[in-house]
Amino acid sequence: MIKNFFKLITNEFKLMLKGSVFSFVLFCLLIIACSIFSLSLRNESMSMNAPLSFLYIMIFFISLFKVEKIYSLDFDEAKLQQYILSPFSLEIIIFVKNMMIYLNLIIFFVIFSPLILIILNIDLSYLIQINILLSLSLLSIIFIASMTASITISKNNKLSLTSILTLPLFVPILIFSMAITDVIDFNTNKMYLFFVAYFLLNLAFSPLLTSFALKKLSV
Amino acid sequence: MFAITPNALSTFMNSISKYIVILSFLLIGIAAFLIIFIENDYYQGISFKIMFIHVPAAWLSLAIFLAMGISSIIGLIFKSPTAFTIARSLSPIGLIMSIIVLVTGSIWGNLTWGAYWVWDARLTSMLILAFIYLGHILLLYSFEHFQKADFAASILAIIGMVNLPIVKFSVDWWTTLHQGSSVLKIGGPSMTNDYLITLLVSFLGIFMLTMYWFSNIFYIIIEKRKIERSKLLND
Amino acid sequence: MIEVNNLSFARGNILIYKDINFKISPGELLLVSGANGVGKTTLLSNIVNFTEPLEGNVTYHGTSIDNHIASECFLYIGENNFAYDTLTLNQNIDYWLSVHNVNFDKSIKNKSVNFLFQELNLNKKFYQLSFGQKKKLQLLLLMLVNKPVWILDDPFSGLDTESINKISILFEKKLENKGIIIIASHQKIGLNDYKTIQLT
């Protein structure tokens, strides 16, 4: 069982590598959009909030599209039937898949983050803090998106409905991140606690709800 | 308690609904009387009286979402159709309440702050709550069959409950333009007694009106389902 | 032994079938037949507990089937293909065997692949295969995953006569080992002795 579990993880990793071209293109688009955005603001001394919230919104959309695409491809009826009948519970498979989507996105983000920060005119001394903040919130974003993607999986006009459902749920993350960056000193900010709590809550409950929704709504 | 069938609850609600509506009109009448004759606020003048609609509607929009979330959890755990139907009939009321909050709030904001809308944490999170209500309703009516729709919408209601503490505590966690809580807070309410009584009476009146509305929606949903079921059996 | 009692199912507000009763004991094969749209696939997914019936119940050795029993005892091969288009044939086999928690020898795997596919390059991408070859990949799981009950939805579509004969050999062996097979199909099966249920 354990051996096969690790085999499953490596196989999912291989699958993720196949899809990483997609996220590479998305991140290139993110950088292009960033540069256009920074052109319009190049003469003003920006506070950190504006570029960071811009970055967040781009990441919202990238992860929304990515999760939506993966869920509609990897959990179509035939595949889902096999997943349900496998000895691994669906929650575990969903967890592994979500983590792989996360890895796929976060690797590109970490690689490109110095470039993005330079384009957006943010001080490079905040590189590590911003990376931590975004990597924590990206995980929550992906788990939330997976829940809403699984709710709407059997519908035809998926993407519009999923966006309507998901984007309101993302905004609390945005509010909290902006609250953290308001106080420039990241390390002594108690708002980080919220992120950790939110993150743990997501890790615990969203695979349960996602698998429940997939079982009830799509087969 | 979870074994109550939707039909039994529907007939019970229908039988008491006329008493509820009488009570609610009585309470709203008293509240209106009190609001007219109460003293104006020293700083805000007459515009302050919008609070007696704004605050009860805000409480109710939060409380309704909480009730929806709890009944969704109960529905998912105990597979109880009653709980699902309660959640289903609560969401339009919650949407209307949150719209009332936003509209009265922006009128009040224009009179006191000089702007209809500012992007601070309380206002934004309230707007998000309204959007979650909207998404819940869209989800409920985008499925062909009500059981699937109930499952999907209940999951959304559970996820959306994360937003509730953010709305409630946003004024304590951040320095916002919106004033802090003055009734439900540690150390007792910071309001004079006549304002507090007026507020409570007006809250009770609006609450009873919501209950009446809720019982009507519940009754209509159940009757519709009966008709559909009899059609299905006749075919 | 699988027992189906008074099973009825409605999708949305439309009743698909009602009052279906049958029993299958180990070593028997059941063919579910009927015209298009009478609910053959739905009946199978009801038995595997993918969907919940409106009324009635399905039991396996006396206990009603839940997800746990289904995942331990049932192998379901549906109409649509579950393989990943972007992976090669070999990677697909590895992936689905790890999902089904099967430890296998390379030699056994190669043997069964040879039995079904004969000469075939396993490093071909999945989307380069023909329809029949794709179907055979699904049926390969029958040989590699060891579960007592097989539930197959239209297994013969797109297969040539030679492959159908091979699959029939597999069925015979399974029935000798006291397995249960439920098939939904329009075609007749090349076996001597099986039960049939006609959906209307």
Nearest residue on chain A to C72, alpha-carbon basis: A87
Longest dimension (CA), chain B: 69
CA distances from residue B219 to A148, B63, B154, B235 in whole angstroms, order as listed: 30, 21, 20, 25
User: Would you say residue B189 lies in a domain?
Assistant: yes
Q: Taking the mean position of all CA atoms in its chain, how far away is CA A219?
A: 26
What's the whole-number average pLDDT of chain C? 84
Residue range B29-50: mean pLDDT, rounded: 79
How much is the average pLDDT of C24-35?
87
**What's the structural domain count of chain A?**
1
Q: C82–A79: do the CB atoms touch at under 8 Å?
A: yes
Inter-chain CB proximity B142 and A172 less than 8 Å:
no
Which tens digit of pLDDT belongs to each residue from B2-12? 577 888 888 88
Question: Above 70 in pLDDT, residue A187?
Answer: no
C-alpha distances (whole Å) from B96 to each of B17, B134, B150, B168, B235 are 20, 10, 20, 19, 38
Q: Do B228 and C10 touch (CB under 8 A)?
A: no
Beta strand C149-153 pairing with C55-60: unpaired
Instruction: Report whether pLDDT(C151) > 80.
Output: yes
Q: With pLDDT > 70 as the criterion, what percentage of chain A qualifies?
A: 90
Give the model's pLDDT for residue B86: 92
Structure letter (DSSP) for residue B45: B
Question: Within a domain: residue B43?
Answer: no
Chain A residue with minimum CA distance to B143: A155
| Closest CA in chain B for residue A213 | B152
Can you tell me the mean pLDDT for B125-154?
89
- The answer as to whether B60 is a domain residue is yes
A94 touches chain C (CB under 8 A): no
Contacts of C94 in chain A (CB under 8 A): 7, 11
**What ipTM goes with this model?**
0.89
* pLDDT one-digit tens code per residue, B194-207: 888 888 999 999 99
Q: Hey, which CATH number is domain C2-198, 3.40.50.300, 3.40.1350.10, 3.30.56.10, 2.60.40.60? A: 3.40.50.300
Cβ distance of B151 and A213 shorter than 8 Å: yes
pLDDT of res. C130? 83
Is residue A164 classed exposed, middle or buried when 0-12, 13-18 and 19+ CB atoms within 10 A define those classes?
Answer: middle
The answer to whether B20 and B212 have CB atoms below 8 angstroms apart is: yes
Q: Is C86's CB within 8 Å of A15's CB?
A: yes
Close Cβ partners of A122 (under 8 Å, ≥ 6 residues apart) = A48, A51, A52, A130
> Residue B58: pLDDT above 90?
yes
Query: Is residue A147 less than 8 Å (CB to CB) from chain B?
Result: yes
How much is the pLDDT for B2? Answer: 59
Nearest CB partner across the interface for B142, out of A155, A213, A216: A155
Does A79 fall in a domain?
yes
Average pLDDT, integer, range A206-210? 90
Q: What is the pLDDT of residues A117-173, one digit of tens each?
A: 888 777 788 888 888 888 888 988 999 999 999 888 877 777 788 888 888 888 888
pLDDT band at B212 (very low <50, low <70, confident <90, very high): very high
Q: Is residue B155 part of a domain?
A: yes
CA distance B90 to B1: 19
Mean pLDDT of A181-198: 66
Q: How many CB atoms lie within 10 A of CB C169?
A: 12
The C74-77 sheet, strands edge to edge:
C74-77, C149-153, C180-184, C29-33, C195-198
- Measured distance CA(C192)–CA(A67) in Å, rounded: 50
Whether pLDDT at A76 is above 80: yes
- Whether pLDDT at A48 is above 80: no
> Which of residues 7 through 26 in chain C touch B, CB cutoff 8 A?
10-15
Candidate from B42-51, B72-81, B185-194, C42-51 with smallest mean pLDDT = B185-194
Nearest Cα of chain A lies from the Cα of C192 at a distance, in angstroms, of 30
Which residue in the set B138, B148, B173 is minimally distant from A217, CB to CB?
Answer: B148
pLDDT digits over C114-150, tens only? 887 776 777 788 888 888 888 888 888 888 888 888 8
Nearest CB to A84: which of C67, C79, C80? C67
Point out which residues pair with C55 in neighbouring strands.
C8
Dump pLDDT digits (tens) for A3-18.
Answer: 888 888 888 888 888 7
- Per-residue pLDDT for B188 more than 70? no
Cβ neighbours of B148 (radius 10 Å): 16
pLDDT of residue A145: 92
pLDDT of B217: 92
Containing structural domain, residue A207: 21-38+47-217
With beta carbons under 8 A apart, name residues in chain B contacting A151: 139, 152, 155-156
For the cut 70, the answer to whether the pLDDT of residue A43 exceeds it is no
Average pLDDT over residues A19-41: 80
Nearest alpha carbon to residue B160 among B139, B183, B131: B131
> What confidence tens digit (pLDDT) does each residue in C152-165 have?
888 888 888 888 88
Interchain CB contact of A165 with B (< 8 Å): yes
Query: The tokens of C132 are what?
Result: 């029949």
pLDDT value of residue A44: 60
Type of residue found at C9: F
On the question of pLDDT at A191 being above 70, the answer is no
Selecting from A14, A87, A219 the residue whose C-beta is nearest the C-beta of C50 gives: A219
User: A50 vs chain B: nearest CA distance in angstroms?
Assistant: 14
pLDDT of residue B1: 54
Would you place residue B95 in the very low, low, confident or very high pLDDT band (cuts 50, 70, 90)? very high
The Cα diameter of chain A in Å comes to 59
pLDDT at A154: 76
Domain boundaries, chain C: 2-198
CA distance A217 to chain B (A): 6
